[in-house]
Amino acid sequence: MFIGREYLFVDGYNIINAWQPLQVLAQENLEMAREELINRMIEYQVVRDINLIIVFDAYKVKGTNKKIEKHGQVEVVFTKENETADTYIERRITEIGQYRKVTVATSDGMLQQLVMSRGGLRMSARELYHLLQDLKNEIERKRQKIAENSINFRATLDADTIEQLKKLIKEEKG
């Protein structure tokens, strides 16, 4: 039985290398590709209300200490020197996986196997990409519906009511 909010770990560089648009962006500017992934994941976290952790390898960078940044409710981890994202994710799953529902988004087959052996769920980079696309499409459909409803609502108002609403708005603004 799981308690609390679920966790989604995202293997950052693995996802960037798996998603063609981010892969192209990373060839020009890796930092921009990271920021784009983070921004997309922030939108997902807001809608899903989960604990979301994006992990980026810094294991080859000499003298690097682990760094954790908060972007809204999303935690972004840069591992320390000699620590891979896989190692970090494995350790965190071992710590929390027995009590919380944990999913890892990666296309790294070894990490997927490791996650499953620890009781976690796996999600491929392609699955995550399609999930985010579906979310983006759903949000756009809802925006269009709200806009249509707003237009329809205004069309049903007579001129006097519109003027009264305008006066109320001006009064509220002071």
Q: Are residues 118 and 137 in the same domain?
A: no
Question: Higher model confidence: residue 75 or residue 157?
Answer: 75
**Alpha-carbon 77 to chain mean position:** 14
- Going by C-alpha positions, the residue among 115, 91, 113, 114 that lies closest to residue 101 is 115
In a domain, 1, yes or no: no
Q: DSSP string covering 49-84, please?
A: --EEEEEE--TTSTTPPPEEEEETTEEEEEPPTT--
Please check whether residues 33 and 105 belong to one and the same domain.
yes
In whole numbers, what is the pLDDT of the chain averaged over residues?
86
The answer to whether position 63 is within a domain reads yes
User: Residue 66 is which amino acid?
Assistant: K
Residues 16-62: tens digit of each pLDDT: 999 999 999 999 999 999 999 999 999 899 888 899 999 999 766 67
Length of the chain: 174
Alpha carbon distance, N-terminus to C-terminus of the chain? 54
Residue 83 and residue 167 in one domain? no
C-alpha distances (whole Å) from 80 to each of 66, 68, 86 are 4, 10, 12
Task: Give the model confidence (pLDDT) of 87-118 as tens digits.
Answer: 999 899 988 877 889 999 998 888 888 888 77
Domain shared by 106 and 119, yes or no: yes
Q: Which two tokens stand for residue 16?
A: 């960037």
Look up the pTM and report it: 0.78
Q: How many domains does the chain have?
A: 2
